[in-house]
Amino acid sequence: MYNASKLAFAALALVLTGVISAQGQVNGSILATAQVQTPITVSGTQNLSFGNVFPGVAKAVAYTDAANAGKFSVAGQASTPVTYSFTLPTNLTSGGNNLPIGSWLGYENTSNSTSGGSGITPSAAPTSSTLSGSGALFFFVGATVTPPANQAAGSYTGTVTLTVSY
Amino acid sequence: MRLLSYALALTALTVPPLSAQRPITVAGVRSLSFGAVLPGVPTVVPRTSAANAGQFDVTGPHDSQAALTFTLPVVMTGPAGATLPLLFGGSDAGYSQSQSIGSQIGFDPKQPFVITFSQNGRGSVFLGGTAQPVPTQRAGSYTATITLTVVSLP
């Protein structure tokens, strides 16, 4: 009988412990989920090249100039709006010498062509566009350099940057 | 025999009131879903979003109190171990006695929060948040686990 009593107490203890444990604390979980789309990549595919420039003679490169216009290609999430802007130099430089550059003109297109798209003003504030159905966008840039008559001879360079974001 | 009688009597006194109450439970009902996220563009899911807010359903003894504590991830994990930062604001969680997403009391999911179960012993907890992908965020599916712990209070 003594053993039976101990067994009963043990059973009671287990029952109470189980009840308290089951009612005291519980956990549940869910997931956080996201589908990250394709990040944007921007590639400069061709330099804006003025070739030989003579002092006192302005020289223009049109954005339609297949060989010399600056070109960028953009890749990202298909059919998604983006915002773009250019950072443009005011001079090309060679050591301490400056060669003024201005009169920027450009073109954007969802195909790699200067027809069927839209003319743009690269110096404008950030502008909206939309990636193509395959997630592509192309930019073409032309400009004019205006060397003064006393322009020092040399090789002049500047950096044109295109920034694109969703 | 006397001890056995005491034990049975104690059991009879203790168990019926407890078994008459709704037990404390918590069940994950809906994931916190950010959907399509663009690299570099933060995506916010409000706790009031019926389609995207996370949801837990809780039960407990009617009119009793319990403490809610979240275990929140700081990132979601994606392809090749890439991580996507997650943020939870000071009012990104909400509790509804009526289990209605439109009738919540907001609270900070980073702090324990005491709730009172309704007359029917049911309630729902909703959770929003912000995903903050970097501009170069790798494309793909990202997930993380959010756990809610419910502790009954005396």
**Residue-range domains of chain B with CATH:** 21-152 (2.60.40)
Nearest CA in chain A to B74: A32
Q: How many CB pairs under 8 A join A and B?
A: 161
SS (H, E, C) chain B: CHHHHHHHHHHHHHHHHHHHCCCCEEEEEECEEEEEECCCCCEEECCCCCCCCEEEEEECCCCCEEEEEEECCCEEECHHHCEEEEECCCCCEEEECCCCCCCCEEECCCCCEEEECCCCCEEEEEECEEECCCCCCCCEEEEEEEEEEEEECC
Residues of B in contact with A36 (CB under 8 A): 37-39, 78, 84, 133, 137-142
Q: What is the mean pLDDT of residues A11-29?
A: 56
CATH node for A41-165: 2.60.40
pTM of the predicted model, to two decimals?
Answer: 0.75
> Which of A24, A32, A33 shows the shortest C-beta gap to B152?
A24
pLDDT at residue A5 is higher than 60:
no
pLDDT at residue A15 is higher than 60:
no
A26 to B136: CB separation less than 8 angstroms, yes or no? no
Residues of A in contact with B33 (CB under 8 A): 32-34
Torsion of CA B120, B121, B122, B123, to 10 degrees: 120
Q: Give the pLDDT score at A11.
A: 39
pLDDT at residue A143 is higher than 60:
yes
Q: What is the mean pLDDT of residues A106-120?
A: 97
Nearest CA in chain B to A25: B151
Confidence of residue A18 (pLDDT cuts 50, 70, 90): very low
A166 to B11: CB separation less than 8 angstroms, yes or no? no
Instruction: Split chain B (154 residues) into runs of 10 and give each run's mean pLDDT.
Output: 45 43 92 97 98 97 95 98 98 97 97 94 97 96 98 92
> Which of B3, B136, B139 shows the shortest C-beta gap to A9?
B3
B32 to A8: CB separation less than 8 angstroms, yes or no? no
Q: Give the pLDDT score at B20.
A: 55
B32 to A33: CB separation less than 8 angstroms, yes or no? yes
Q: Give the pLDDT score at B39.
A: 96
- Indicate the domain borders of chain A: 41-165
Q: Above pLDDT 90, what percent of chain A?
A: 85
Q: Give the pLDDT score at A20.
A: 38
> Which of A23, A31, A80 shows the shortest C-beta gap to B18?
A23
B140 to A35: CB separation less than 8 angstroms, yes or no? yes
Name the residue among B91, B50, B68, B28 with its Cα closest to residue B151.
Answer: B68
Please report how many Cα atoms fall inside a 13 Å half-sphere around the Cα of residue B12, on the Cβ side: 6
pLDDT at residue A115 is higher than 50:
yes
Cα(A77)–Cα(A136) distance, integer angstroms: 8
pLDDT tens, position by position, A83-97? 999 999 999 999 999
pLDDT at residue A23 is higher than 90:
no
B138 to A31: CB separation less than 8 angstroms, yes or no? no
pLDDT tens, position by position, A30-64? 999 999 999 999 999 999 999 999 999 999 999 99
| Complex-level ipTM | 0.85
